[in-house]
Amino acid sequence: MTNRKPIRKAVFPVAGMGTRFLPATKAIPKEMLPIIDRPLVQYAVDEAREAGIDQLIFVTGRGKTAIVEHFDHAFELEATMTERDKSLDAIDPTRILPGNLVTVRQQVPLGLGHAIWCARAIVGDEPFAIFLPDELMIGQPGCMKQMVEAYNEVGGNLISVLEVPEDEVSSYGVIDPGKRGFGPGGALTEVRGLVEKPTREAAPSNLIISGRYILQPEVMRVLEHQGKGAGGEIQLTDAMAQMIGQQPFHAVTFAGKRYDCGNKTGFVEATLAIALEREDMRDEVRAMALRLLGE
């Protein structure tokens, strides 16, 4: 037991245009692209709820209403299915308690840091989680639950990290690691510095930020004055870097599998990997994959 403020709110920045998946994402938000039968954003929301977080804040933009519709009650659908004696199990995960989903708009695409700052009034004065739905994290327990367990021990700010090959570091935020291998499951690393999208030569390690954060509300005040960084965007990584030394800052090495669904190959990999794990389809999918590979 601890007396730390619990993590009850999660911010999902979903305003991005998804240009890498055009034309699929011309009229559909990229977060609604399905991995089998669940849209990407649903995996992130399920992970949040598993970690005990039930207040969902979506930072959206134009053309993103399908995400909000997805988590709304669908009266006609539910009534018709009930009338026909069909199970509602498949839509259960989309049901959010009234009042627990809030949206704010990011009117201009100024970067991830700016998107998070757009949620400041709703986050208020409590620690909160951030989920980048592009990063699909599959674990037991899920990534955020692992992070909340670590948070209960060390408090402060936490980010999830994992190792990538050195030639991939320039696509991510990278940590400068201090003391390693302590805390629950030996998963904690002290964070001494953070760099957004460094060159391979300048990267302080090959440990990248993998799209899950628990942050203290003070980050909003830092973001308020944050100038543009990598790619000319207001970067969350730069704001977090300024908090190191002021508040505890740790990385949690995620025990589980991670798929970067922000690119096409990662998306295909996730689809195949999850299909091969699902009891209802793995045998058929395995046979199909072997057949295709043999051709």
Would you tell me which residues interact with ligand G1P (CB under 6 A)? 112, 132, 134-135, 172-173, 196, 208-211, 235-237, 262
Q: How far is the CB of 13 from ligand G1P (least distance, A)?
A: 8
Q: How far is the CB of 101 from ligand G1P (least distance, A)?
A: 23
Q: Please report, for residues 128, 140, 152, 179, 242, the alpha-carbon distance to residue 183 in angstroms, rounded to integers and kept in the order given.
A: 21, 18, 10, 11, 24
Residue among 163, 180, 189 at smallest CA distance from 252: 189
- Cα–Cα distance, 36 to 253 (Å, whole number): 27
Chain position whose Cβ is nearest to ligand G1P: 173
Whichever of 260 and 285 has its CB closer to ligand G1P, that residue is 260
Q: How far is the CB of 182 from ligand G1P (least distance, A)?
A: 23
Alpha carbon 85 to its chain centroid, in Å, reads 36
Side-chain-side CA neighbours of 203 within 13 Å: the count stands at: 23
Q: Is 188 helix (H, G, I), strand (E, B) or coil?
A: strand
- Cα–Cα distance, 97 to 234 (Å, whole number): 33
Whichever of 155 and 211 has its CB closer to ligand G1P, that residue is 211
Whichever of 9 and 30 has its CB closer to ligand G1P, that residue is 30
Whichever of 151 and 213 has its CB closer to ligand G1P, that residue is 213
Whichever of 154 and 174 has its CB closer to ligand G1P, that residue is 174
Q: How far is the CB of 230 from ligand G1P (least distance, A)?
A: 8
Q: Is 252 helix (H, G, I), strand (E, B) or coil?
A: strand
Taking the CA atoms of 282, 285, 289 and 291 in sequence, report the sign of the dihedral they define.
Answer: positive
Q: How far is the CB of 88 from ligand G1P (least distance, A)?
A: 33
